[in-house]
Amino acid sequence: MTDEIDYEVDIEDLPAKPSRGQVGAPSVVVDNAHVTYRVFGGRKGGTVDSKPSVMSRALNLGRPATGPIRQVKAVRGVSFVAHHGESVGIIGTNGSGKSTLLRAVAGLLPLTDGRVYTASEPALLGVNAALMPKLTGERNITVGGLALGLSASEVASRTAAVAEFAELGDFLYLPMNAYSSGMASRLRFAISTIVTPDILMIDEALSTGDASFRRKSTARIEAIRDNAGTVFFVSHSLASVRAMCTRALWIDRGVLVMDGDVDEVCDAYHLYVQGRKNASSGARL
Ligand SMILES: Nc1ncnc2c1ncn2[C@@H]1O[C@H](COP(=O)(O)OP(=O)(O)O)[C@@H](O)[C@H]1O
Ligand SMILES: [Mg+2]
């Protein structure tokens, strides 16, 4: 497992480190958040027969999936307060609950327990942003802009700028399922920042795209932060987190294990990942 740390980012592409001064009023308060997924059937690691007999399948026709309902406690009792003007990195190994936490804070997933308060509606930018593959890029910009609260004429006046930022060229008029993944992720980023959100959440969305696009998008994120917004940034790249954030949260198996200065948290996480790697290579010898 070496995918937790990504060394591909060119340090020169990264912006100058933000200063830790100028932190404003709270913008996001997360109080003892819990998110539990309910998984039906429990195939993965579950105890259900993988091949039910013809008879048992026939008897179950028309009924919901059989098997135990497995609960996945993806976020377990996370609390923190983020402020205006802060950019907060969220780090942790795969499956530790980072995406779940962001989606819950953005109001896209219900909490099983606890509370989330936000000063305004967060804009979540992620690999799963709801763009419609059958619609053209142009239509997606319209729909996305309207969903973010722009009027039809505001959307119309900004469409060209969004398409240019996303470097779509003539693909603007083609359905999105004709786009490369890089092109689609550039468009997602451009749409999510069509209005300057007060709270911007980025889930691994900058990992695609070339260095020049990363520079452009980083500049846009800095502008949001400088406008006293709050940025949450989930990334595999510790170098990007260190460069873009002032503070970091380290989540492990759904639990917040560390919250503090970005360099201190990244150092501790790095040691942990190195330790795991050494332990697993030692076990193989
Ligand atoms: N839709 C879902 N249904 C059931 N379990 C899920 C779902 N999404 C994520 N999980 C599980 O929740 C845990 C946290 O996942 P996730 O939030 O995606 O972690 P991360 O973003 O840190 O990789 C993992 O165990 C994952 O398998
Ligand atoms: Mg994730």
Q: Is residue 258 part of a domain?
A: yes
212-268 pLDDT, tens digit each: 887 888 888 788 878 878 999 998 889 889 988 999 999 999 999 999 999 999 999
With a 6 Å cutoff on the Cβ, whether 69 touches ligand 1 is no
The strand pair at 87-91 and 69-83 is best described as unpaired
Specify if 134 maps to a domain: no
Ligand 1 atom closest to the CA of 94, numbered from 1: 23
Q: Please check whether residue 31 is in contact with residue 79, taking contact to mean a CB–CB distance below 8 angstroms.
A: yes
Ligand 1 neighbour 72 (Cβ under 6 A)? yes
Q: How many angstroms separate the CA atoms of 86 and 229, rounded?
A: 7
Answer with the residue of higher pLDDT: 63 or 183. Answer: 183
DSSP string, 246-264: SEEEEEETTEEEEEEEHHH
Q: Establish whether residue 230 lines the binding site of ligand 1, counting it when its CB lies within 6 angstroms of any ligand atom.
A: no
Assess if residue 71 is contained within a domain. no
**Residue 198: inside a domain:** yes
pLDDT value, residue 260: 97
The boundaries of the domain holding residue 108 are 11-32+81-125+193-284
Mutate to test the pocket of ligand 1, among 100, 102, 250, 252 (most ligand atoms within 8 A of CB): 100
Instruction: Look at residue 271 and tell me if it is in a domain.
Output: yes
For residue 246, being part of any structural domain is answered with yes
Nearest CA to ligand 1 atom 8: 100
For residues 94 and 205, which has the higher predicted lDDT (pLDDT)? 94
Query: Is position 112 within any domain?
Result: yes
Tell me: the pLDDT tens digits for 32-59? 999 999 988 655 544 444 556 676 666 6
pLDDT at 170 over 70: yes
Beta-bridge partner residues of 31: 115
Cβ-contact 109, 126 below 8 angstroms: no
Residue 108 resides in a domain:
yes
d(CA 270, CA 276): 10
CATH number of the domain that residue 210 is part of: 3.40.50.300
Residue among 127, 283, 118 nearest 192 (CA): 127
Number of domains in the chain: 1
CB 99 less than 6 A from any atom of ligand 1: yes
User: 10 Å Cβ neighbour count for 181?
Assistant: 10
pLDDT at 124: 77
**Does the CB atom of residue 74 touch ligand 1 within 6 A?**
yes
Q: How many CB atoms lie within 10 A of CB 155?
A: 18
